[in-house]
């Protein structure tokens, strides 16, 4: 009898493959993911059920009254897995692409008003803003949100006719 957490081998590969199959079949939704996981990987689902039953037994046996959270049901575990992989595989790449496109547009607009945006060589999502006239850094080590704010301020100053 195993105690503690059950380990499912290659879970991320299995979930990714299942996502790809459901996308190809145009059936990607939570219920379909759960039912497909149960059909395609019955042993892994049985492990989740076994772990849940073990934890429920331990939960009921807890007579001292220590606060212990109720174990998560196997279907809820698969539901959480669906939401996590949906964000990781579907939503996050779209967000990354939108950010990349926005940075490209900012570089063009800032270049027109005399500034240069440079990415950090160590981290893709850190930026520096440089004044082209004297090659001095205006700001360094900016994150995406900070860069957006600074660029908007600089563009508003330029539109009002203010100094750089």
pLDDT at 1: 39
Taking alpha carbons only, the member of 129, 158, 159, 122 closest to residue 144 is 129
pTM of structure: 0.61
Strands (E), the chain: 115-119, 127-131, 136-142
pLDDT tens digit string along 89-145?
Answer: 888 888 888 888 999 999 998 888 889 998 888 877 789 999 988 988 888 888 888
DSSP sequence for 28-60: -SHHHHHHHHHHH-HHHHHHHHHHHHHHHHHHH
Rounded Cα distance, 25 and 93, in Å: 20
pLDDT interval class at 35 (50, 70, 90): very high
Domains in the chain: how many in total? 2
Rounded Cα distance, 107 and 111, in Å: 6
Tell me the pLDDT of the chain averaged across its residues: 85
Same domain, 124 and 57: no
Same domain, 63 and 142: no
pLDDT interval class at 60 (50, 70, 90): confident
Domain that holds residue 124: 114-161
């Amino acid at each position: 009898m195993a105690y503690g957490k059950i380990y499912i081998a290659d879970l991320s590969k299995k979930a990714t493959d299942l996502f790809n199959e459901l996308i190809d079949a145009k059936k990607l939704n939570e219920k379909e993911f759960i039912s497909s996981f149960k059909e395609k990987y019955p042993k892994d689902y049985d492990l989740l059920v076994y772990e849940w039953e073990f934890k429920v037994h331990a939960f009921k046996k807890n007579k001292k009254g220590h606060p212990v959270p109720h174990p998560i049901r196997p279907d809820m575990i698969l539901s959480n897995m669906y939401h996590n992989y949906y964000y990781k595989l579907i939503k996050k790449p779209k967000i990354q692409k939108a950010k990349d496109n926005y940075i490209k547009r900012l570089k063009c607009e800032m270049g027109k008003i005399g500034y240069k945006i440079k990415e950090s060589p160590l981290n893709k999502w850190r930026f520096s803003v440089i004044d082209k006239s004297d090659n001095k850094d205006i700001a360094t080590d900016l994150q995406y949100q900070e860069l957006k704010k600074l660029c908007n301020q600089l563009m508003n100053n330029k539109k009002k006719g203010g100094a750089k």
